[in-house]
Chains A and B, each alone.
Chain A
Amino acid sequence: MIRQLFKYREMLLVVVIAILVAAFSTRSPGFARPANLANIFNDTSILIILALGQMTVILTKSIDLSVAANVAFTGMAVGMLNAAHPDLPLAAIVLVALGIGAVLGAINGLFVWKLGIPSIVVTLGTLTIYRGMAFVLSGGAWVNAHQMTEPFLQTPRQLFLGLPLLGWTAIVIVGIMYLIMSRTFLGRAIYASGGNPTAAVYAGIDVGRTRFYAFVISGTLAGLCAYLWVSRYAVAYVDIAAGFELDTVAACVIGGISTLGGIGTVAGAVLGALFLGVIKNALPVIDISPFAQMAISGSVIIAAVIFNARQERRRGRIILRDRGASEEIGVAA
């Protein structure tokens, strides 16, 4: 029954996205061309990867508001590293990005795990600290395209089967996350510590440690996205990805990931991100000012929350609601 509803949810998103694409292509015939769709996917890759990290954290009844700041700091660090040591191989730079991202994620996780501070407070604090550190690191200076090396800039743009490597990276990450969430002990522990923390403890799961790992995953993915972001836009500055943490939360909510924890799938997060990506890419096509994008994603988030709540209620969670509601602000978020 529950599995069926999950399927229903993702199928519904697929249908909605297909209808959107079809509707937009009536205005601009080229919109549904495979090349353009690949372009949209490529454009949404970074959001997909970050949304998967955010999903992991939200599933454990937490939230990570520092992902975008993590991207800004790590992006600045790898940008400056590339500019200062052009002979350093790209693999080393990507490893550094993953490492810095993981450390920043681990800092969040340690506060949540060892001190029991609500994740919203911790990541609200680290959000300002990490971005501030990006400024301290760079002194406010930019790293521009001409300072970056050829492989640093061009590798994610290499075409393979019609899709740039950036898009393939997202596909690989989706695959890895799917395996982690559905085939490993950690994945099961992540669902359990969000779905019912008390029961998870009795089942022998260390909820705090699981949350810590979720933050490390989110941080590591943010580190990867930091390199991808700087390479894609060929510039690193303090304000990159400002406000992007909310887009990742929005993608999760649209994808049916419950902010109360424990409910949601990799496919949902990916589709939620793609939904936002299609709308973002369609706005210029249908002659709507890019300034409208914010209001549209806001309305979509609200609609998705209302829809999610109805779905969860239908599943009988109403019995648990009062307890869930009292925990939701604190532990959850």
Chain B
Amino acid sequence: MSAVSERRQIPDRLGTSTTRLFASWEALLFMVAVLIFIANAFASPYFLNAWNLSDATFNFTEKAMVAFAMALLIISGEIDLSVAAIIALASTAMGAAAQAGIGTPGLVLIGIGIGLGCGLINGILVAGLRLPSIVVTIGTMSLFRGIAYIVLGDQAYGGYPPSFAYFGQGYVFWVISFEFFLFGVLAVIFAVVLHATNFGRRIYAIGNNEFAARFSGIHVERIKFTLFLLTGLMAGIASVCLTSRLGSTRPSIAQGWELEIVTMVVLGGVSILGGSGTIGGVVIAAFVMGLVTFGLGLLNVPGIVMSIFIGLLLITTITLPIIIRRLGRRKPA
């Protein structure tokens, strides 16, 4: 009950721009990132090494690429749980194409094309037929990964052309990997699209009040459709990077990534209810998650225990502000 009334509360007066900056989610998250960085540096002597840090970025770059598009989708009030399955299907298609002797440019086109195709299907089902996105994408998640399983079974594809390895293993400049470079470029593009264009404003408008947005002349369905297409595209691009980095494809590739990507987005301060959030927050959240997993990895903590930390991180970062806000409200004004 209290959650319902809390949600639409608007303060009488916004703080000054400096106080708002320091009180913002992004500032809090940034401090968490710095603390984790310092803790890592103390915990392991191998942490503060340019090449190690560069390797650490591979923990999050692919997921973050998808997380950018997912952030727009969640801000608009929808969600796509099929992203990891799209990565698997695109990777399977690229593997099959590589077996058929198709070269690197063709493989990239196929990977991105499959991503777009899957996004198209989600878009038609959610925006076209107006179905709830959670259930639809749970369905397409089984469908897409299921097709990968039908094609591959318990087999694996390998034998990608050597030049294909560049996307996941190449370096643009010194320790800056191609993936990290792409991550940076995409972060800037998504930040501009979300925060500086008409299209971005409309995404917020839809997420805050779809009904009002429709009456303001926004093509709600068209924008949602575009966002699903965009998410599919990003999953395709992430699939190219991941497949290139691993050099082989199994149908279980990127298993469970949808949850990590949603965690990244929510951790980045995007409201799961839609309507608010920034790309900057998602970028910092990507670093936080990457640093946590890398730091724990240096300490020989098994992957499944790391996932406990990620889960705790997700719940505490959402819970803390709510508890603090409540404690603050109890004080007499």
Q: Mark A217-234, 1 if CB is under 8 A from B, else 0.
A: 000000000000000000
- B219 CB, min distance to chain A CBs, angstroms: 15
- A330 CB, min distance to chain B CBs, angstroms: 3
- Tell yes or no: A244 within 8 A of B by CB: no
Q: Mark A289-331, 1 if CB is under 8 A from B, else 0.
A: 1011111111111100110010000000000011101101111
A127 touches B138 (CB 8 A): no
Number of A-B contacts (CB under 8 A): 183
- Tell yes or no: A199 within 8 A of B by CB: no
Q: In the assembly, what is the distance between CA of A117 and CA of B209, in Å? A: 20
B: number of interface residues (CB 8 Å): 58
Of the candidates A131, A253, A296, the one whose C-beta lies within 8 Å of that of B135 is A253
- Tell yes or no: B144 within 8 A of A by CB: yes
- Evaluate whether A301 and B139 lie within 8 angstroms (CB atoms) in the complex, with A116-B322, A259-B132 already known: yes
- Tell yes or no: B333 within 8 A of A by CB: no
- A249 CB, min distance to chain B CBs, angstroms: 6
What residues on A are CB-neighbors of B142 within 8 Å?
A: 246, 250, 294-295, 297-298, 301
Q: In the complex, which range does the number of interface residues on chain A fall in?
A: 35 or more
B1 touches A115 (CB 8 A): no
Interface-side segment among B173-181, B230-238, B302-310: B302-310
What residues on A are CB-neighbors of B48 within 8 Å?
A: none
B150 touches A295 (CB 8 A): yes
- Tell yes or no: A111 within 8 A of B by CB: yes
A298 touches B310 (CB 8 A): no
- Tell yes or no: B35 within 8 A of A by CB: no
- Tell yes or no: A129 within 8 A of B by CB: yes
Contacting A at CB under 8 A, from B199-226, are: 209-211, 214
- Evaluate whether A298 and B311 lie within 8 angstroms (CB atoms) in the complex, with A246-B138, A249-B135, A330-B274 already known: no
- Evaluate whether A329 and B77 lie within 8 angstroms (CB atoms) in the complex, with A125-B312, A295-B147 already known: yes
Minimal Cβ-Cβ distance residue in A for B74: A329
- Tell yes or no: A262 within 8 A of B by CB: no
Contacting A at CB under 8 A, from B63-121, are: 74, 77-79
- Evaluate whether A126 and B132 lie within 8 angstroms (CB atoms) in the complex, with A131-B304, A298-B146, A322-B210 already known: no
- A215 CB, min distance to chain B CBs, angstroms: 15
What residues on A are CB-neighbors of B36 within 8 Å?
A: none
A292 touches B125 (CB 8 A): no
Q: Quick one: which of A289, A291, A299 has the most chain B CB within 10 A?
A: A291
- Tell yes or no: A166 within 8 A of B by CB: no
Interface-side segment among B39-47, B159-167, B281-289, B313-321: B313-321
Give chain B's interface residues, CB within 8 Å of chain A. 1-4, 6, 74, 77-79, 125, 129-136, 138-147, 149-150, 153-154, 209-211, 214, 251, 259, 262-263, 266, 272-274, 302, 304-305, 307-308, 310-312, 314-315, 318-319, 322-323
Q: What are the nearest 4 A-B pairs in CB distance?
A: A116-B3, A295-B146, A298-B142, A298-B143
Known pairs A63-B134, A321-B130; list 14 more (Cβ under 8 Å): A111-B315, A111-B319, A115-B319, A116-B6, A117-B318, A121-B318, A246-B141, A291-B146, A292-B149, A299-B139, A305-B135, A326-B211, A330-B77, A332-B132
